[in-house]
Amino acid sequence: MRRRSNNLLVEPPSVATGDIAFNLIVFFLVCASVQPDSGRKQTLPRSEEKAKQEQQTKNVEVLLTRTTAAVNGDLVPQRELLPRLRTLLSGKLRPEDRVVVVKSRPDTPYAFWIEVTGLIEEAGGTVTIQREEERTVQVGG
Amino acid sequence: MKIPPRKHKAEVPSVAMGDIAFNLLIFFVILAKAQDDSHLNWTPAATAKVESAGATRVSVLINSENKLHLNGQPIGLSQLAPRVKELLGDAPAGDRTVVLKVHRESQALQFEPVIEAISEAGGDLVHILEEKRP
């Protein structure tokens, strides 16, 4: 007599389902972390203020206040900033000539500073910062 | 006749041990994130184009209260450059990324010296920003 094969239905154990679900929740929570991790690279020339002071006078200068930007002393609306910078930098081929000196008033907000420095880089300029307190102050006597 | 009470051997089930170990592992990995600054409150500024910052060991943050933090820990401006230099060590160019997270309303008085300190420490600066939506 031929014996019938013992084909039993094998079910996966369901005890671990809860653990698997919990691990999946943890995994997706970690993945969905809202911390931003992308942005913009910025190369700043090393500060050698004293030695380069003379050179900087030939460079384009951008002065930022809380809401305005002035290029070489002229107040420029934000939408005209990019074409103006492109024009000023167009004839300059050497990297040191393409340095744009950014001076900011102490109350200039970061969001505005980022916007303007982004435009400078888009125009082909290299941003360098000149801080207010670094300006030469002559004391009489 | 007195029937002796049955003694059942109670054992801790060992099936879940692997899962428990795995969960503990995840828990400590999350805790041990070297530069975790997720507890700090700040809003990124927006820009048109953003790119991935890549791997980094150093994260500098100015929060909404204008307090400076290095890898999630409060730090003074005067200690920033030497500490960043120390953390970067002898890392080659391209592996010296320092991410800078500045609250969008922070003022030049606070963020400019920080940018200068990072530059002085020889870090490759990456501003962490949000992509501007049209």
pLDDT tens, B28-44? 777 666 566 777 888 99
Q: Above 60 in pLDDT, residue A15?
A: yes
Query: For the complex shown, is ipTM > 0.85?
Result: no
Which residues of chain B lie closer than 8 angstroms to A113, CB-CB?
108, 111
> Could you give the angle at the alpha carbon of A12 between the alpha carbons of A11 and A15, nearest 5°?
120
Range(s) of the domain holding residue B85: 46-131
Quick one: pLDDT at residue A37?
75
Is residue B25 a part of any domain in this protein? no
Is residue A121 a part of any domain in this protein? yes
Give the separation between CA B13 and CA B63, rounded to whole angstroms.
Answer: 48
Is residue A138 a part of any domain in this protein? no
Q: What is the largest CA-CA distance in chain A?
A: 123
Please report, for the domain that includes residue A82, its CATH number.
Answer: 3.30.420
Average pLDDT score over residue span A112-129: 91
Q: Above 90 in pLDDT, residue A108?
A: yes
Domain total of chain B: 1
Q: Which residues of B touch A (CB under 8 A)?
A: 15-16, 19, 22-23, 26, 30, 38, 44-53, 99, 102-109, 111-113, 115-116, 119-120, 124-131
Q: Above 70 in pLDDT, residue B87?
A: yes
Beta bridge partners of B98: B58, B125
Chain A residue nearest residue B39, CA to CA: A35
Average pLDDT score over residue span A67-87: 91
Is residue A33 a part of any domain in this protein? no
Is residue B23 a part of any domain in this protein? no
Q: Above 80 in pLDDT, residue A82?
A: yes
Chain A residue nearest residue B16, CA to CA: A16
Give the separation between CA A123 and CA A108, rounded to whole angstroms.
Answer: 21
DSSP state letter for A95: G
Range(s) of the domain holding residue A54: 49-131
Q: Above 50 in pLDDT, residue A44?
A: yes
Is residue B27 a part of any domain in this protein? no
Q: Above 70 in pLDDT, residue B55?
A: yes
Is residue B84 a part of any domain in this protein? yes
- Tell me if chain B has a CB within 8 Å of the CB of A30: yes
Is residue A29 within 8 Å of B38, Cβ to Cβ?
no
Is residue B94 a part of any domain in this protein? yes
3-state secondary structure of B57: coil
Is residue A14 a part of any domain in this protein? no
pLDDT (tens digit, 9 = 90+) per residue, B57-79?
A: 889 999 999 999 998 889 999 99
Highest mean pLDDT among A23-32, A53-62, B122-131: B122-131
Is residue A141 a part of any domain in this protein? no
Is residue B101 within 8 Å of B72, Cβ to Cβ?
no
Report the gap between the CA of A71 and the closest CA in chain B (Å).
Answer: 18
Average pLDDT score over residue span A23-40: 74
Is residue A112 a part of any domain in this protein? yes
Domain total of chain A: 1
Q: Which residue has the higher pLDDT, B99 or A57?
A: B99
Of residues B55, B51, B60, the one with CA closest to residue B94 = B55
Is residue A137 a part of any domain in this protein? no
State residue A99 phi and psi, 5-degree precision: -75, 130
Contacts of A129 (CB under 8 A, 6+ apart): A44, A47, A101, A102, A103, A104, B112, B115, B116
Helix (H) or strand (E) holding A102: strand A99-104
Q: Which residue has the higher pLDDT, A137 or A54?
A: A54
Give the separation between CA A55 and CA A45, rounded to whole angstroms.
Answer: 13
Q: Above 50 in pLDDT, residue B25?
A: yes
Is residue B86 a part of any domain in this protein? yes
Give the closest of B44, B113, B120 to A36, CB-based. Answer: B44
Give the separation between CA A40 and CA A120, rounded to whole angstroms.
Answer: 13
> Could you give the angle at the alpha carbon of B105 between the alpha carbons of B113 and B64, nearest 5°?
85
Is residue A94 a part of any domain in this protein? yes
Quick one: pLDDT at residue B32?
65
Give the separation between CA A123 and CA A126, rounded to whole angstroms.
Answer: 9
Are A114 and B109 inside 8 Å of each other by CB?
Answer: no
